[in-house]
Chains A and B, each alone.
Chain A
Amino acid sequence: MILDGKSPAGPLAERWDRRRQELKLVNPANKRRYKILVVGTGLAGASAAATLGELGYTVEAFCFQDSPRRGHSIAAQGGINAAKNYPNDGDSIYRLFYDTVKGGDFRARESNVYRLAMLSNNIIDQCVAQGVPFARDYAGYLDNRSFGGAQVSRTFYARGQTGQQLLLGAYGALSRQIHAGTVRLYPRTEMLDLVVIKGQAKGITIRDLTTGAIRSHAGDAVCLCTGGYGNVFYLSTNAMGSNVTATYRAYKKGALFANPCFTQIHPTCIPVTGDHQSKLTLMSESLRNDGRVWVPKKKADERKPHEIPEDERDYFLERKYPSFGNLAPRDIASRAAKEVCDEGRGVGPGGRGVYLDFADAIQRLGKDKISERYGNLFEMYEKITAENAYERPMRIYPAPHYTMGGLWVDYNLQSNIPGLYVLGEANFSDHGANRLGASALMQGLADGYFIISYTIADYLARTGPGGASADHAEFLRSIGEVDAASKKLLSINGRRTVNDFHRELGRIMWEHVGMARGREGLELALKRIPELRGEFWSNVKVPGSGADLNQELEKAGRVADFLEFGEVMALDALLREESCGGHFRVEHQMPDGEAKRDDDNFCYVAAWEFRGIGKKPELHKEPLTFEHIPLATRSYK
Chain B
Amino acid sequence: MDLTLFIWRQKGQQDKGRLDQYTARHISPDMSFLEMLDTVNEGLIAEGREPVAFDHDCREGICGMCSQVINGIPHGPQEKTTVCQLHMRHFRDGDTIYIEPWRAKAFPVIRDLIVDRSSLDRIIQSGGYASVHTGGVPDANAVLVPKQDVDIAMDAAECIGCGACVAACPNGAAMLFTAAKVTHLAMLPQGRVEAARRVCVMTEAMLREGFGNCSNHYECQAICPKGIKVSFIAKLNREYLKTFMGSPGCSTGE
Binding site for B on A (CB under 8 A): 47, 50-51, 54, 65-70, 72, 74-75, 84, 86, 122, 124-131, 133-142, 158-159, 161, 164-165, 168, 171-173, 175-176, 178-179, 185, 187, 210, 237, 239-241, 273-274, 276-279, 281-282, 379-380, 383-384, 386, 449-450, 453, 495, 497, 499-500, 541, 543-544, 548-549, 551-552
Within 8 A of A (CB), among B43-64: 45-46, 48-51, 53, 55-64
Most chain-B Cβ atoms within 10 A of its Cβ — which of A125, A135, A241, A282? A125
B234 at the interface (CB under 8 A from A): no
Q: Complex formed: what's the CA distance from A450 to B134 in Å? A: 8
- Which B residues are CB-close (under 8 A) to A124? 140
> Is there an interface contact between A176 and B129, defined as CB atoms closer than 8 Å?
yes
Offer 24 A-B interface pairs, CB within 8 angstroms, sorted by A. Answer: A47-B134, A67-B121, A70-B161, A84-B141, A125-B137, A125-B138, A126-B132, A126-B137, A131-B184, A136-B145, A165-B154, A165-B157, A175-B121, A179-B126, A187-B118, A240-B56, A241-B57, A274-B28, A276-B30, A278-B34, A282-B60, A380-B85, A383-B81, A497-B46
B206 at the interface (CB under 8 A from A): no
B12 at the interface (CB under 8 A from A): yes
Residue ID in chain A nearest B37 by CB atoms: A278
| Chain B interface helix/strand/loop/mixed | loop
Choose from B39, B116, B133 the contact partner of A276 (Cβ within 8 Å). Answer: B39
Residue ID in chain A nearest B63 by CB atoms: A70
> Is there an interface contact between A130 and B129, defined as CB atoms closer than 8 Å?
yes
- Which A residues are CB-close (under 8 A) to B50? 543-544
B135 at the interface (CB under 8 A from A): yes
> Is there an interface contact between B188 and A131, defined as CB atoms closer than 8 Å?
yes
Binding site for A on B (CB under 8 A): 11-12, 28, 30-32, 34-35, 38-39, 42, 45-46, 48-51, 53, 55-65, 78, 80-81, 85-87, 89, 110-111, 114, 116-118, 120-121, 124-135, 137-141, 143-147, 150, 153-154, 157-158, 160-161, 184-185, 188, 190-191
Q: Complex formed: what's the CA distance from A266 to B221 in Å? A: 35
- Which B residues are CB-close (under 8 A) to A179? 125-127
Q: Complex formed: what's the CA distance from A619 to B25 in Å? A: 49
- Which A residues are CB-close (under 8 A) to B86? 383
> Is there an interface contact between A176 and B184, defined as CB atoms closer than 8 Å?
no
- Which A residues are CB-close (under 8 A) to B80? 379
> Is there an interface contact between B190 and A175, defined as CB atoms closer than 8 Å?
no
How near does chain B come to A208, taking the closest CB pair, in angstroms?
12
Choose from A139, A239, A386, A449 the contact partner of B89 (Cβ within 8 Å). Answer: A386
Choose from A140, A141, A380 the contact partner of B60 (Cβ within 8 Å). Answer: A380
- Which A residues are CB-close (under 8 A) to B124? 69, 171-172, 175
- Which A residues are CB-close (under 8 A) to B30? 273-274, 276
Beyond the given pairs A125-B137, A543-B45, 6 more chain A to chain B contacts, judged by CB atoms under 8 angstroms and listed by A's residue number, are A70-B65, A128-B143, A130-B190, A131-B191, A173-B132, A543-B51
- Which A residues are CB-close (under 8 A) to B133? 54
Q: Complex formed: what's the CA distance from A136 to B143 in Å? A: 12
Given A54-B133, A65-B57, A499-B42, are A139 and B144 also a contact pair (CB < 8 Å)?
yes
Q: Complex formed: what's the CA distance from A69 to B160 in Å? A: 9
Q: Complex formed: what's the CA distance from A435 to B140 in Å? A: 25
How near does chain A come to B135, taking the closest CB pair, in angstroms?
7
> Is there an interface contact between B61 and A380, defined as CB atoms closer than 8 Å?
yes
How near does chain B come to A224, taking the closest CB pair, in angstroms?
19
How near does chain A come to B81, taking the closest CB pair, in angstroms?
6
- Which A residues are CB-close (under 8 A) to B61? 380, 383
> Is there an interface contact between A66 and B38, defined as CB atoms closer than 8 Å?
no
- Which B residues are CB-close (under 8 A) to A131? 129-130, 153, 184-185, 188, 190-191
> Is there an interface contact between A74 and B62, defined as CB atoms closer than 8 Å?
yes
> Is there an interface contact between A86 and B141, defined as CB atoms closer than 8 Å?
yes
How near does chain A come to B98, taking the closest CB pair, in angstroms?
22
- Which B residues are CB-close (under 8 A) to A187? 118, 121
Given A164-B62, A173-B134, A379-B80, are A158 and B45 also a contact pair (CB < 8 Å)?
no
How near does chain A come to B33, taking the closest CB pair, in angstroms?
11
> Is there an interface contact between B45 and A541, defined as CB atoms closer than 8 Å?
yes
Q: Complex formed: what's the CA distance from A450 to B137 in Å? A: 13
Given A276-B28, A453-B134, are A129 and B57 also a contact pair (CB < 8 Å)?
no
- Which A residues are CB-close (under 8 A) to B51? 543, 551-552
Q: What 9 pairs across the A-B complex have the smallest Cβ distances?
A: A172-B129, A140-B144, A129-B137, A273-B30, A128-B140, A133-B154, A133-B153, A239-B57, A175-B125
Choose from A51, A72, A380, A450 the contact partner of B63 (Cβ within 8 Å). Answer: A72
Given A50-B134, A67-B120, are A497 and B42 also a contact pair (CB < 8 Å)?
yes
Q: Complex formed: what's the CA distance from A326 to B37 in Å? A: 38
Choose from B59, B121, B130 the contact partner of A240 (Cβ within 8 Å). Answer: B59
- Which A residues are CB-close (under 8 A) to B58? 70, 72, 74-75, 239-240
> Is there an interface contact between B32 and A67, defined as CB atoms closer than 8 Å?
no
Q: Complex formed: what's the CA distance from A605 to B60 in Å? A: 34
Residue ID in chain A nearest B129 by CB atoms: A172
How near does chain B come to A36, taking the closest CB pair, in angstroms?
15
- Which B residues are CB-close (under 8 A) to A51? 134
> Is there an interface contact between B150 and A72, defined as CB atoms closer than 8 Å?
no
Q: Complex formed: what's the CA distance from A453 to B49 in Å? A: 48
- Which B residues are CB-close (under 8 A) to A125? 137-140
Residue ID in chain A nearest B132 by CB atoms: A129
Residue ID in chain A nearest B153 by CB atoms: A133
Q: Complex formed: what's the CA distance from A47 to B134 in Å? A: 9
Choose from A84, A450, A500, A543 the contact partner of B48 (Cβ within 8 Å). Answer: A543
> Is there an interface contact between A75 and B35, defined as CB atoms closer than 8 Å?
no
Q: Complex formed: what's the CA distance from A370 to B138 in Å? A: 32
Residue ID in chain A nearest B44 by CB atoms: A543
> Is there an interface contact between B111 and A281, defined as CB atoms closer than 8 Å?
no
- Which A residues are CB-close (under 8 A) to B78? 383
Q: Complex formed: what's the CA distance from A67 to B116 in Å? A: 10
Residue ID in chain B nearest A275 by CB atoms: B28
Q: Complex formed: what's the CA distance from A281 to B60 in Å? A: 7
How near does chain A come to B103, taking the closest CB pair, in angstroms?
17
Q: Complex formed: what's the CA distance from A135 to B141 in Å? A: 12
> Is there an interface contact between B126 and A133, defined as CB atoms closer than 8 Å?
no
- Which A residues are CB-close (under 8 A) to B121? 67-69, 175, 185, 187
Q: Complex formed: what's the CA distance from A124 to B50 in Å? A: 47
> Is there an interface contact between A142 and B157, defined as CB atoms closer than 8 Å?
no
How near does chain B come to A60, taking the closest CB pair, in angstroms?
16
- Which A residues are CB-close (under 8 A) to B132? 126, 129-130, 173
- Which B residues are CB-close (under 8 A) to A139? 144
How near does chain A come to B161, taking the closest CB pair, in angstroms?
6
Given A133-B153, A172-B130, A499-B38, are A141 and B141 also a contact pair (CB < 8 Å)?
yes
How near does chain B come to A225, taking the closest CB pair, in angstroms?
15
How near does chain A come to B150, taking the closest CB pair, in angstroms?
5
> Is there an interface contact between B129 and A175, defined as CB atoms closer than 8 Å?
yes
> Is there an interface contact between A67 and B141, defined as CB atoms closer than 8 Å?
no
Given A65-B65, A133-B154, A161-B62, are A449 and B134 also a contact pair (CB < 8 Å)?
yes
Choose from A136, A168, A185, A450 the contact partner of B157 (Cβ within 8 Å). Answer: A168
Q: Complex formed: what's the CA distance from A495 to B70 in Å? A: 31
Q: Complex formed: what's the CA distance from A72 to B65 in Å? A: 11
